[in-house]
Amino acid sequence: YIYTPLNQLKGGTIVNVYGVVKFFKPPYLSKGTDYCSVVTIVDQTNVKLTCLLFSGNYEALPIIYKNGDIVRFHRLKIQVYKKETQGITSSGFASLTFEGTLGAPIIPRTSSKYFNFTTEDHKMVEALRVWASTHMSPSWTLLKLCDVQPMQYFDLTCQLLGKAEVDGASFLLKVWDGTRTPFPSWRVLIQDLVLEGDLSHIHRLQNLTIDILVYDNHVHVARSLKVGSFLRIYSLHTKLQSMNSENQTMLSLEFHLHGGTSYGRGIRVLPESNSDVDQLKKDLESANLTANQHSDVICQSEPDDSFPNGVSLCRPGWSAVARSRLTASSASQVHAILLPQPPE
């Protein structure tokens, strides 16, 4: 195979290319029946190429986990659209993806059973790793829960502990990464029978878990996730909410994965062989499960029109209610639990 540098691409040709991922959108359902992924790559020529990739098979699209991964595209069609050069899938398109970290094993990610990978390919991946280590900054969006702040968008590597349907347009994911948020995390309270997951394990980890509401096009992905799997959630949004109770103001941190694919929003399952999962497992094993115990304050109110039906989030002026009263309330309504900041 002959590989074309990105600064030598010409419209109307079909080429093979290597590049470092600068931006990507995890595969998502297009308006038709195909899955789509958008990938922007760059190589040693410092030229960027945005690729629009389509396939009826989710796994046939590049298996990219983060910016800095390295991709190899075979039979990529080059076209010029609005004076911009771009790549699109053509007949026989195939891809390999590699971790971009220096020193990491060079293991191709692909759904194809048959592919060619030579010593020259190995050298090209290594050369791109070396180049990227000095020419591309590490991803600043990949954070741990202990480092997140309000009104922030970030990528999270985590383990799924539980999941539940909220309504047709939103879905609840309970996750953890072994660290604790700087603000108490809000809770969506639902009936235990609705929640899929090990309830005793979730309760044991309650100081370290967060509740994430995902919306719209991400719901069908969330439904398919297996409890216990390792995830990367892209462009997760934090919001800080406050409430007044007993003459004091308490704050809670909300987590939302909004609908759409702007800024690469999406969810991807990570394999256990991924180096980030190795680090996550170490963080989970060393997590302090008993530090900074919270006392739950539960808030009850009419559903907020700005959120899905049945979801009530804590707002200033809402009164705290006893667990017994909440348990006796309408089972069809979903409430939020606000956890106060523990004393220093």
Q: What is the pLDDT of residues 186-202, one digit of tens each?
A: 888 777 668 999 999 99
Domain ranges of the chain: 13-135, 152-278
pLDDT at 326 (0 to 100)? 34
Beta strand 230-245 pairing with 153-167:
antiparallel
Mean predicted confidence (pLDDT) in 226-232: 97
Name the percent of the chain lying above pLDDT 90: 66
| ∠ Cα 64 67 69 (to 5°) | 55
Structure tokens at 129: 């790793």
Cα–Cα distance, 33 to 18 (Å, whole number): 28
Which pLDDT band, with edges at 50, 70 and 90, does 63 fall under?
very high
Closest to 229 measured CA to CA, from 281, 289, 292: 281
Question: Do 66 and 231 form a contact (C-beta atoms < 8 A)?
Answer: no
pLDDT at 245 (0 to 100)? 65
Provide the CA 79 distance to its chain's centre, in angstroms: 31
Task: List the alpha helices (DSSP H) in 172-327.
Answer: 199-204, 219-224, 275-285, 323-327
* Three-state DSSP state, 101: coil
pLDDT at 19 (0 to 100)? 98
Closest to 209 measured CA to CA, from 169, 245, 255: 255
Q: Given a cut of 60, is residue 178 above it in pLDDT?
A: yes
pLDDT at 248 (0 to 100)? 73
Mean predicted confidence (pLDDT) in 2-8: 97
Structure tokens at 33: 């029946």
Cα–Cα distance, 130 to 209 (Å, whole number): 37
Predicted structure pTM score: 0.81
pLDDT at 100 (0 to 100)? 93
- Residue type at 250? M
- Between 208 and 249, the more confident residue is 208
Residues 6 or more apart whose Cβ sits within 8 Å of residue 126: 106
Average pLDDT, the chain: 84
Cα–Cα distance, 342 to 330 (Å, whole number): 30
Which pLDDT band, with edges at 50, 70 and 90, does 77 fall under?
very high
pLDDT at 291 (0 to 100)? 58
What Rg do the C-alpha atoms of the chain give, in angstroms?
23
**Architecture of domain 13-135 in this structure:** Beta Barrel (2.40)
Which pLDDT band, with edges at 50, 70 and 90, does 294 fall under?
very low
Closest to 211 measured CA to CA, from 86, 116, 339: 339
Cα–Cα distance, 24 to 149 (Å, whole number): 24
pLDDT at 330 (0 to 100)? 36
CATH number of 152-278: 2.40.50.140
